[in-house]
């Protein structure tokens, strides 16, 4: 999920091959085919989304849908200079659309820009976090085996925060690579996505137990039940997309 121009809420419908837009309580959908997953707002006023089985990245501007070829894209983010970066989950690479590309073994999944303009990537099968800075890739292994990191976001404290879907933990990685892990009350919660909320805390979906979690920068965790199953994406103002077919705002 992501907010777009005019405050509209955009979301992907992976099983149906559609992208949806919620505006003032009205839902419009766009037939895009394939399996759209991650969606982000671009600096060009368009919405961009990944379709990794279709080896393409889609763009919606107004009501017009277009595509560019890209091998197995999943995670998307725009760098401060406006460049679109994406992870390639099956090619073990991270690339800039129309630009450079880096080999990154371990199934790169989510990607986010740090506060200093660096790029941070979760390596789901590599059990590590990677950083791209000044053309160099640095890997930081997780302290816990089998963490399987997925979502990652820039935190309110200058660090990057991520979720470990395999270990049931929230992780924090400082600019120097120091990693701190915060176990969830239920280690089987399967945390999936994470964002910095407008209240200055980190919010994350607990896909395995149908809850939303909140963690403060000092590690205090609170959890909330949701009116549906399998929450995936969420936004900074706490809209949550649930695989059971619900858009819910906390």
Q: Looking at the annotation, which residues are catalytic?
A: 232
In a 3-state reduction of DSSP, which class is residue 5? helix
Gyration radius of the chain over CA positions: 17
Question: What tokens appear for 48 in the block?
Answer: 């961009």
Q: Rounded CA gap, 143 and 37, in Å?
A: 29
Sign of CA dihedral 239, 241, 244, 247: positive
Q: Rounded CA gap, 14 and 2, in Å?
A: 15
Q: Rounded CA gap, 179 and 131, in Å?
A: 13
């Amino acid at each position: 999920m992501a907010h777009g121009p005019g405050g509209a809420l955009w979301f992907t419908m992976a099983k149906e091959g559609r992208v949806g837009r919620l505006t003032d309580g009205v839902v419009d959908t766009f037939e895009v085919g394939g399996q759209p997953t991650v969606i982000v707002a671009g600096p060009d006023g368009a919405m961009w989304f990944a379709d990794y089985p279709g080896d393409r990245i889609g763009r919606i501007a107004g009501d017009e849908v277009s595509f560019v070829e890209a091998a197995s894209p999943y995670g998307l983010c725009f760098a401060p200079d406006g460049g679109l970066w994406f992870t390639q989950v099956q090619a073990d690479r991270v690339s800039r659309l129309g630009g450079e590309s880096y080999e990154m073994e371990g199934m790169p999944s989510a990607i986010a820009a740090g506060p200093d303009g660096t790029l941070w990537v979760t390596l789901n099968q590599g059990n590590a976090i990677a950083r791209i800075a000044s053309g160099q890739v640095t890997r930081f292994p997780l302290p816990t085996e089998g963490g399987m990191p997925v979502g990652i976001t820039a935190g309110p404290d200058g660090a990057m925060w991520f979720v470990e879907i395999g270990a049931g933990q929230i992780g924090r990685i400082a600019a120097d690579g120091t990693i701190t892990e915060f176990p969830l009350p239920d280690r089987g919660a399967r945390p999936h996505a994470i964002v910095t909320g407008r209240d200055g805390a980190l919010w994350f979906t607990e896909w395995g137990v149908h809850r939303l979690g909140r963690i403060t920068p000092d590690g205090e965790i609170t959890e909330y039940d949701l009116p549906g199953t399998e929450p995936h994406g969420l936004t900074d103002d706490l809209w949550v997309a649930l695989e059971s077919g619900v858009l819910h705002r906390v």
